[in-house]
Amino acid sequence: MSTSMLGLDGKRAVVFGGGQGMGEATALCLAQAGCDVAVVDLVEERAEQVAQRVTETGRRGVTVVGDVLDDAEVPRVVGAIEEKLGGIDITVSIVGQSAFGAALDMTPDTWDLDQRRNLRYFFVLSREVAAAMIRRGQGGAMVAIASVDGIQGSAYHSSYGAAKAGLISLVKSLAVEWAPKGIRVNAIAPGHIVTPRLYDTNERAAYYAESPIPMKRRGQPVDIAKAATFLASDLASYVSGVTLPVDGGLLAANLINAGHVFGRPAR
Ligand SMILES: NC(=O)c1ccc[n+]([C@@H]2O[C@H](COP(=O)([O-])OP(=O)(O)OC[C@H]3O[C@@H](n4cnc5c(N)ncnc54)[C@H](O)[C@@H]3O)[C@@H](O)[C@H]2O)c1
Q: Which of 121, 156, 160, 199 is catalytic?
A: 160
Residue 257, pLDDT score: 73
Residue from 193, 204, 250 to probe ligand 1 pocket by mutation (most atoms less than 8 Å from CB): 193
The alpha carbon of 94 and the centre of ligand 1 are apart by a number of angstroms equal to: 5
Model pTM score: 0.96
> In degrees rounded to 5, what are phi and psi of residue 74?
-60, -45
Q: Does residue 191 contact residue 208 with C-beta atoms inside 8 Å?
A: no
Calpha distance 5→194 (Å, rounded): 30
CA distance 144 to 126: 9
Give 37 Cα–ligand 1 centroid separation in angstroms.
18
Ligand 1 binding pocket (C-beta < 6 A) is 17, 19-23, 40-43, 46, 67-69, 94-97, 145, 147, 190, 192-193, 195-198
Atom of ligand 1 nearest to the CA of 19: 39
Q: How many helices (H) and strands (E) does the chain have?
A: 9, 7
Cβ atoms 35, 8 nearer than 8 A: yes
pLDDT at 28: 98
The atom of ligand 1 lying closest to the CA of 43 is: 37
CA of 82 to the centre of ligand 1 (A): 23
Q: Which residues contact 51 (CB under 8 A, 6 or more apart)?
A: 27, 37, 39, 61, 62, 63
pLDDT string in tens for the chain (267-residue length) = 677 899 999 999 999 999 999 999 999 999 999 999 999 999 999 999 999 999 999 999 999 999 999 999 999 999 999 999 999 999 999 999 999 999 999 999 999 999 999 999 999 999 999 999 999 999 999 999 999 999 999 999 999 999 999 999 999 999 999 999 999 999 999 999 998 877 677 888 888 888 889 999 999 999 999 999 999 999 999 999 999 999 999 999 987 776 666 766 555
Q: What domains are defined for the chain?
A: 8-243 (3.40.50.720)
Residue 160 annotated among the catalytic residues of the structure: yes
